[in-house]
Chain A
Amino acid sequence: MLVFAISDKGGTGRSVTSTNIAFRRALQGDDVCYLDFDFGSPTVGAIFGVRSAERGTERGGMHSYLQEKTEDPYRVDIWTDSDRSALRSRPPGAGQLILLPGDSSGGEFPASPRAVDRCVRLFSRLREEFDLCMVDLSAGRSYAADMVLAATARAELSDVPFRWLVFHRWTRQHIIAAAGLVFERRGLLDVGAAHGHDKTALAERIRFVRTAVVEANAPERSALRSTQLAWLDECDRDLHELARRHGVGRTAMLGKVPLDPVLQWREQILVDEDVYASQIANESTIRAFDHIATKIFDARAWEGL
């Protein structure tokens, strides 16, 4: 299974959320590979606590592989190479967790036919080894998105299931932007169709994930006055209505992740220890990641809208 993580804007929580989902899936027993295709800023290494690949690698990462400069892209085994001790022991029954970082000196590059070929080869190769490949794409309409849309339309990958997760914050602007990224002119559906995807089928493989959401029953709200609460509830209703009108409503949503105090401070993987031992992160955040990690593979969550 290939899962593409995208967002219209930077700073939505795409990388933090998708890495945490990948981590939960590995804990659930799947062999997981996380690919950093955010070519403009390959920083996923930092989230996994891998100092040597904090801003990508110099040893031939994703950029080098896709541009035919290396045959074996550099791999980081999170269970052994993370500098965060809480990540450095593989729990019993957990699957592999491998990061393929970008190049530290790489930038955006066009999705040439050669690059698409390489991308097809990479995905086919990873399929031998992994149950889930999570691909973190650059924000917005990017070469990276263009390349993977072209690759997944190719015959060689026709029987590899794939899904798209569109991450957005729960605000007016983000809702409208996320919808635009998918449905508007030159959006994912348009570009996908140009590469030979069936638009309806492609739409069924796209779901939205809301990040850093303040829930109605969140503890933060207890400090508010009743007038403020009423106002917030009204805003929330407006947002739901707006989301529905833009095709980003409840049915198109795969899950939502609550605002988390730890993630607000730092981009990191939440381990159970953060919740139960040091009690700094919220259990509901981990549960949300777990829930999405399960739903990605739940056929019922991906039936026609």
Chain B
Amino acid sequence: MLIMGEVQTGLLRNLGELGEPKCREVLGLVSGEEPRTSMRPLPYAISPEQFTGVDCRLPGVSGARIRGTGTVAQHAVIVGGRVLQASAYATVVAGAADHRLPWSHYLARPGDIEVHGRPRWADMAEGFMAAEMPMDALNLSAIGGRLMAAVQESPHLDGKTPFKSTRTHLRWVLWRGEAGAPPLLLTLGKGSLRTLRLTGEPATDVTAFCEDLALHDWLLTTIQAIIQRALIGTAAPSQIAARLAPAIDHLMHLWMPGARVPDSYQHLWKELERRPGFSRQWASSVTRIRDQIAVNTLSLLSAAVMTESGHEPDGDISPHRGASQDDP
């Protein structure tokens, strides 16, 4: 048995932070049921589970054509009224038969995919981590992508984002693993793909850990992209400050690793903090941003002093990437 899943993370398409009632409406609309929400430590909303039927080839590095039938579970999460996640996952189990059974059989086991024939777990786990899967293989990315689109197109959202950012995809697998496999292995893949291999007894509450990790990985990726683009050391201080502003306004307060992770997975966060040192990287990015803002404040102050003493301050080039992005 193994569980495989994918978490997509991106900015919610709304200029302002979405309040709790709106989060309920938005998520309620896509699932047709009441979402669960909580306010601490951060506003958080999660939609009830929905299921998508699948009957398709399963991934594998060996190229063996193994099929499976069943359903994929998916839900959407909104964190801080700002970040949207779509999480799709399935528990793959050895099938009761080597052919397809009537749908009622699979509907009685929501979230399970049954393998037709003899499953090869290691092959399947590795196949699912590959950057390019066969086009006809189980595609959790497509299922998550559709859920993401359904939320983003909600009439309760204004369709705009306060800054541009890239979605990330965290693909993960949890199974007993080969002997000696580490409890956790996170790899940054091509572009926005991350892969996470977890070793342990398969249990679906691991999704909370994967979503929390995906959220923090996205925050780190996004803040680093903002810093990279601010041209620290090259551009004028005011310009740099304007480019860094979205990080301060919208991202910094969202960093809270482990806040929603069940106790049984807290040790995995500890592992990540040790290596690659998530919070260390975050802290260094935050310090970098604060320093730049301080430099800008100083230069504004000294410009003010200069003006008072009769000098003109330097002309200020308006920031290229400011708050409103699309305006012509």
Contact = CB atoms under 8 A, between A and B. Distances in A.
Nearest to A160: B326
A125 interface: yes
B202 to A, nearest CB: 26
Contacts of B152: 124-125, 128
B159 interface: yes
Contacts of B135: 59-60, 70
Interface string B171-199: 00000000000000000001100000000
A159 B328 CA distance: 10
A59 B326 contact: no
Interface stretch (B66-74, B161-169, B205-213): B161-169
A128 B191 contact: no
Given A124-B152, A129-B167, A297-B328, A70 B142 contact: yes
A128 B165 contact: yes
B122 to A, nearest CB: 25
Contacts of B326: 1, 127, 159-161
Contacts of B191: 75, 77, 80
A302 B145 contact: no
A29 B328 contact: no
B260 interface: no
A126 to B, nearest CB: 10
Secondary structure class of chain A's binding surface, majority of residues: loop
Contacts of A93: 228-229, 231, 234-235
A172 to B, nearest CB: 33
Contacts, number: 74
Interface string A108-136: 00000000000001001101111100000
Contact of B190 (A28, A80, A128, A161): A80
B230 to A, nearest CB: 8
Contacts of A159: 159-160, 326
A121 B164 contact: no
Interface residues of B, number: 33
Contacts of A302: 328
A299 B328 contact: yes
Given A70-B142, A96-B166, A159-B160, A125 B149 contact: yes
A127 B13 CA distance: 10
B168 to A, nearest CB: 11
Interface in A63-82: 70-72, 75, 77, 80
A29 B325 CA distance: 13
Interface string B99-139: 00000000000000000000000000000000010010001
Given A77-B191, A92-B231, A121-B149, A128 B328 contact: no
Contact of A29 (B11, B141, B149, B229): B229
B327 interface: yes
Contact of A59 (B10, B132, B327): B132
Nearest to A299: B328
Given A29-B229, A59-B135, A92-B231, A72 B165 contact: no
A95 interface: yes
A80 B191 CA distance: 9
Contact of B141 (A28, A71, A130): A71
A121 B152 CA distance: 10
B320 interface: yes
A234 interface: no
A125 B84 CA distance: 13
Nearest to B166: A129
A71 B139 CA distance: 9
Contacts of A80: 190-191
A200 to B, nearest CB: 16
A59 B153 CA distance: 26
Contacts of B228: 92-93
Nearest to A81: B190
A302 B328 CA distance: 9
Contacts of B250: none
Interface in A13-29: 28-29
A198 interface: no
Given A92-B231, A92-B234, A130-B164, 9 more contacts: A1-B326, A31-B164, A59-B132, A71-B145, A92-B228, A93-B228, A125-B149, A128-B165, A131-B325
22 contacts: A28-B320, A31-B164, A71-B139, A71-B142, A75-B191, A80-B190, A92-B231, A93-B229, A121-B149, A124-B13, A125-B152, A127-B161, A128-B10, A128-B11, A128-B161, A128-B165, A131-B321, A131-B325, A156-B153, A161-B326, A161-B327, A299-B328
